[in-house]
Amino acid sequence: MFYICSMSGVHVIWFKRDLRVHDHAALAAAVASGAPILPLYIFEPGYWALPEHSRRQFDFVRDSLEELDAALKARGTKLVIRMGSAIDVFSALHQKHGIAAIHAHEETGLQWTFDRDRAVRRWARNAGISLREQPQNGVQRALQSRDGWANQWEAFMRRPRLVAPEALKPSAADSEEWPLPQDFGLGADDCPQRQKGGRMAAVDCLRSFLESRGRTYQKSMSSPLTAADACSRLSPHLAFGTVSIREAWQAAQKAQHEHGRSGDTGFAASIGSFISRLQWHCHFIQKLEDQTSIESRNLHPGYDGLRPEPLAGDPRLAAWIEGRTGFPFLDACMRSLRETGWLNFRMRAMVMGFASHHLWLDWKQPAEHLAALFTDFEPGIHYPQAQMQSATTGMNTPRIYNPVKQSQDQDPDGAFIRRWVPELSGLPAEWLHAPWEAPASVRARAGIVLGQTYPMRIVDHMAAAEEARSRIFAVRKRAGHGAQADALQARHGSKRSGIPFRGQQAARRQAVPRAPEPAQLSFDLHLTPPSQAHAS
């Protein structure tokens, strides 16, 4: 391929899901070159057309890009916005400005982004451009074995954080106008309580969690009533990289040490639990990095064809995603998710499992629908978890959540249900979890007519769970199932990764944490950039 271009030798920083200037290895590598810097974000129509992507994610990214642009301007340059396919954008920039190198973080994403990155690598090689990718979260590309993975991951987390550069040498490239969500057919804002994107919001989440909100994290994370405040709420910021996972890990290590030293062992234990989940976060991303087909095919082939794919307009799928199943707690979770873009992990497992087990739907379409509702959609966590909760990994013991028992356990007084399913608010708490069991006179006094004011339950959950369990265990008993499951465990399982089992984790959390490295003791999230013109 031959290019006619004015060779100024710019180094492009290709921002994807790393929307920050702090602890940014690709940015640091570009700065070290001494060349003019061209910070680039590409709005790719093909990316935003994927079923997993949505307006709420776009708006979060837009928030984050605006803050990133301000941080870059405070350092002497600006974010260059382009719209189109990555190769077309790079080709045009190369012809006009002459690209000497492209710097980017390695991305573990959907098959679409994997294929795009391979195509960009081929293009860069043919154009004679160096493409330099940096690891971002301890996930290892082309990993040969899971043995010792956790120790290597922790070593990555302990490395010094990269300080944001004080000044950047600008290029001559101008930015295009920022696109609107309507340009991608994303429609109107449908998430009124969405978390705000950007580094400032990420820092605020992390600080408030480590200083106060996370005190009851261990016991409060399971119920949607308490989890929204007691959980870190960092997930969308980690997904889009407004804060690095190393920053979160080192801050948590410091906080755990300080709470333990002050005698607040309960708070220290909660932070220890959070630290272990940061490792699990990357453990699951590593699964998708090692096997991209997890997004689209059953991890264990023994489950192929076990469940039917829902047809277009399947009323069961529509009722589930819209919160009209007739199970109040489940419906409350789905309605809350639609309005806020977030749901705690235990409830994510329950709603995914309900679609797979109680409705007996193939997991792929429900997983796509859920992904679009999550502001914090992270492919490497979402798809391995969708398969785990659907019992198609072969490695995990099937767990089928009872939506009524979960309701009674996690929302005993019905406060969460009354908030999100107000048409049932007149029911006494004893009948709120299973309104079909309430006497007709009780329902009448509450103004409830099942099938009219609130749906009849879509399925007999006890019978459906038993049937699902029977079908799944029939597959597990087939010849060859165990050998295939053992091979998958060797490739993806946590035992070989070095992540401790639950008992070991609990013991670690109860122990007084060791002091962090000296560099971590002065942890600073660098809210104020060198120039006071903008906040980063």
Annotated binding site: 217, 274
Q: Where does 159-299 have alpha helices with state H? A: 199-211, 217-220, 224-230, 235-240, 245-261, 265-290
Q: Is residue 272 packed enough to be buried (19+ CB in 10 Å), middle (13-18) or exposed (0-12)?
A: buried
Separation of alpha carbons 224 and 54, rounded Å: 23
How many residues does the structure list for the chain?
536
Interacting residues of 52 by C-beta distance below 8 A, sequence separation 6+: 110, 368, 371, 372, 377, 379, 382
How many CA atoms lie less than 13 Å away from 192 in the CB half-sphere?
3
Separation of alpha carbons 264 and 478, rounded Å: 51
Separation of alpha carbons 27 and 30, rounded Å: 5
Interacting residues of 370 by C-beta distance below 8 A, sequence separation 6+: 321, 337, 348, 351, 352, 382, 386
- Do 287 and 294 contact (CB within 8 A), yes or no? yes
Residue type, position 114, single letter: F
How many CA atoms lie less than 13 Å away from 533 in the CB half-sphere?
10
CB atoms within 10 A of CB 1: 9
Whole-angstrom CA distances from 317 to 369, 376, 471, 524 are 9, 22, 21, 46
The torsion defined by the Cα of 321, 326, 329 and 330, in degrees rounded to 10, comes to: -30
Pairing of strands 99-105, 80-83: unpaired
Question: 3-state DSSP: the chain helix, strand, coil percent, rounded to 5?
Answer: 55, 5, 40
Question: What is the token pair recorded at 354?
Answer: 């309900």
Bridge partners, 103 (sequence order):
13, 132
Q: Which residue reads 């160096």 in tokens?
A: 130
- Residues annotated within a binding site for FAD: 217, 274
